[in-house]
A and B are shown apart, each in its own frame.
Chain A
Amino acid sequence: MNANNNVLLEVEGLRKYFPIQKGLMRRTVGNIKAVDDVNLRVQRGEVLGVVGESGCGKTTLGRCLVRVYEPTGGQVILHTDGRELSVTELNGEEMRLFRRSVQMIFQDPFASLNPRMNVLETVGEPLKVNGLASGRTLEDRVAKVIQQVGLRVEHLRRYPHSFSGGQRQRIGIARALVVEPELIVADEPVSALDVSIQAQILNLLKDLQEQQNLTYIFVSHNMSVIRYISDRIAVMYAGKLVELGPKQELLAHPKHPYTELLLAAVPRAIDRRRGHRIVTPGEPPDLAHLPSGCVFRPRCKYAHERCAEEEPELRELAPGYHVSCHFAEDLSLGGVIPRVKSFPA
């Protein structure tokens, strides 16, 4: 990772542990390491997709980045407005700047909106609480952003219950956009939507990103969605990043055995029957009881003795390409080669 003034966010050694408590005294008997020593740099204007199985720590990572969670350790640095904010130790003024620069979109458009607030109040709230606008100006800015996300001004006085799932997700997006942030952390923003609505929201997010040169950290368990939206992909396993690289390269030539497994499991649209869906035994890890050495070892068909003794570090295999496997150089893993044929014609 070479330093570069186009870096928007730097994440160093980020950890978030949840204590496991037992008994009446609620004694802490261990930790769930939901995010464990994550290192990342996010470039201004890129879409970084974060993918992994349920429970691997994607949501927790996203929440640490937007300060919904207090990290257990590590650093998050935001470069904004010509300044360098240490996200874990913001003072009042810096906090306001941070809230304006970084916003989040949530998975569940039903749960994430306050049923007693109409669209104007919901979308205008971040402007109000951050003292960015009020009265007429607030209303104008909300009206503008509402139209950007494909809703209409007539919708401003309506309440969430009268909107469909896709429309609610648009409200959530408008609420994130209204402060004109640089970075949006989107946690499974289309997972709760029906397929035909999914496409609308994905296209909307893509257009907004291109038009406004936004930066996204896009979290999803769906590799096909990640492929569509991202420039780079970060693969997470058991609270750790195991592979990080440009999309094309990572999908076609994964370097980590877990990425290979994950890709093999995705149903193919075109190569439906030809050797697709290699079934691998094993289940997602229990974050409270991780194995020694490499976290992926129990499911890894390439594991050697060294994997039990020594934990692999995320290292730079080639410029801009990171992987945490002792044998990344020696393995030749299967990925997905896209089909040239447009499908269906």
Chain B
Amino acid sequence: MNMQTTNNVLVDVQDLKVQFLLHEGTVHALEGVSFQIQQGKTLGVIGESGSGKSVTAQAIMGIIPSPPGKVVGGRVLLNLPEEGASVRVINVTELPPSGAEIRSIRGKEISMIFQEPMTSFSPVHTLGNQIMEAVQLHYPDVSKKEARERAIEMMRRVGIPRAEERIDAYPYQFSGGMRQRAMIAMSLVCNPRMVIADEPTTALDVTIEAQILELLKDLQKEFGMAIMYISHDLTVVGGVADEVMVMYLGLVMEHAATDELFDNPLHPYTEALWRSIPTIDGDIERLTPIRGVLPSPFAVHQGCPFYSRCEKRIEGVCDQSRPPMIEARPQHWVRCFLYTE
């Protein structure tokens, strides 16, 4: 199921299956996830907690904690353009997680911005040292002085005032918003082809969130990197993404260009999400909560995983087998029996 078959595909996730083997049981975190990310574009990923957003990100980075995690099927291909017209294809799922090859990719070709930058920076080293380290890891020839200059330049670029002084500060000396800027500076200092942002603004005030999102968009224009933007907030994703994919319990339920998905949501889950969130400019009538509860992560679903909560379910159909992903409108994919023949 290819969103678009162009040769600009940077990340190609194919039928990815990830499980966590815990003593209480097996969590089917990803149950066959497929999508592509185009160079220079932004893919928004939304879903409730536990839908598999972060595990998808971890799989692309090759950092699924193992044990207990395991890729049990499918693959993640990276198409890294090289000098000339050739493309280096890397199958991340086959690389040893701490081998030299994946380490040369992580942080350089693909980097990550996390929700809580406090936990992703070391508290005992200055921000500057940590950003410089990221440079020197991937460019051993760069001198310390150059690395420092590059770090300062990047910190300035992400809007940290007095970067040449602040580079010697420790993470705790920064506010939440400034720390997130520093995290972005670190993620971009090696000029990666893609940045994965996993709920990077969830812990921030809206005013700061707006600044960070705008910053990411500007940097994307300047550096041309692709962005995978993960959030549980539809409205946030709507403002940044070119295309959006909606996940539920380890499956992609719907995937389309942002305007298409927002104007014509097809999947009952996507519609239900919309009706359940308060907005600043939409209809203020009563919210309609999604009925029922999120099933246990250990549950195995023979049919559609949304069946127990779906207003439109068809008994005898939706609970019998998993709905296939189909192109219900041009370039608009949905996994639901309402749209199958």
Q: Which residues of B contact A267 (CB under 8 A)?
A: 206, 210, 233, 235-236, 238-239, 280
CA distance A124 to B327 in the complex (A): 54
What's the minimum C-beta distance from A344 to chain B, rounded to whole angstroms?
Answer: 5
CA distance A269 to B282 in the complex (A): 7
The closest CB in chain B to the CB of A261 belongs to B207
> Could you tell me how many residues of chain B have their Cβ less than 8 Å away from some Cβ of chain A?
49
The closest CB in chain B to the CB of A202 belongs to B287
Q: Which residues of B contact A261 (CB under 8 A)?
A: 207
Between A and B, 25 residue pairs with Cβ closer than 8 Å are A53-B205, A54-B176, A194-B232, A195-B276, A195-B277, A196-B289, A199-B289, A227-B284, A251-B280, A266-B280, A267-B238, A267-B280, A269-B235, A269-B238, A269-B281, A272-B238, A279-B210, A279-B214, A281-B211, A283-B177, A337-B281, A338-B281, A339-B281, A341-B283, A344-B271
CA distance A322 to B274 in the complex (A): 34
Residues of B within 8 A of A (CB): 48-49, 175-178, 205-211, 213-214, 232-236, 238-239, 258-259, 262-265, 271-274, 276-290, 293-294
Known A199-B277, A272-B239; judge A283-B289 contact (CB<8 A).
no
What's the minimum C-beta distance from B247 to chain A, rounded to whole angstroms?
Answer: 13
The 8 Å CB contact of A283, one of B49, B208, B232, B288, is: B208
CA distance A267 to B209 in the complex (A): 10
Known A164-B293, A267-B233; judge A199-B206 contact (CB<8 A).
no
B282 touches A343 (CB 8 A): yes
Q: Does A76 contact B (CB under 8 A)?
A: no
Given A225-B278, A281-B211, 16 other A-B residues pairs in contact with their CB atoms under 8 A: A194-B48, A198-B276, A198-B277, A203-B287, A221-B205, A224-B280, A227-B280, A251-B280, A265-B209, A269-B282, A272-B258, A280-B210, A336-B280, A338-B282, A341-B283, A344-B274
CA distance A200 to B283 in the complex (A): 17
Our count of residue pairs bridging A and B at CB distance below 8 angstroms stands at 148
Q: Which residues of B contact A268 (CB under 8 A)?
A: 235, 239, 279-281
Interface residues of A in 328-345 (CB under 8 A from B): 336-339, 341-344
The closest CB in chain B to the CB of A280 belongs to B207
A195 touches B283 (CB 8 A): no
Q: Does A228 contact B (CB under 8 A)?
A: yes
Chain A 276-308 interface mask (CB, 8 Å, partner B; 1/0)? 111111011000000000000000000000000
What's the minimum C-beta distance from A327 to chain B, rounded to whole angstroms?
Answer: 21
A228 touches B205 (CB 8 A): no
The 8 Å CB contact of B213, one of A223, A277, A339, is: A277
A269 touches B279 (CB 8 A): yes
The 5 closest A-B pairs by CB, nearest first: A269-B279, A199-B289, A228-B278, A267-B235, A199-B276
The 8 Å CB contact of A196, one of B210, B259, B262, B276, is: B276
A224 touches B271 (CB 8 A): no
The 8 Å CB contact of A270, one of B48, B206, B282, B284, is: B282
The closest CB in chain A to the CB of B279 belongs to A269
A228 touches B282 (CB 8 A): no
Q: Which residues of A contact B48 (CB under 8 A)?
A: 194-196
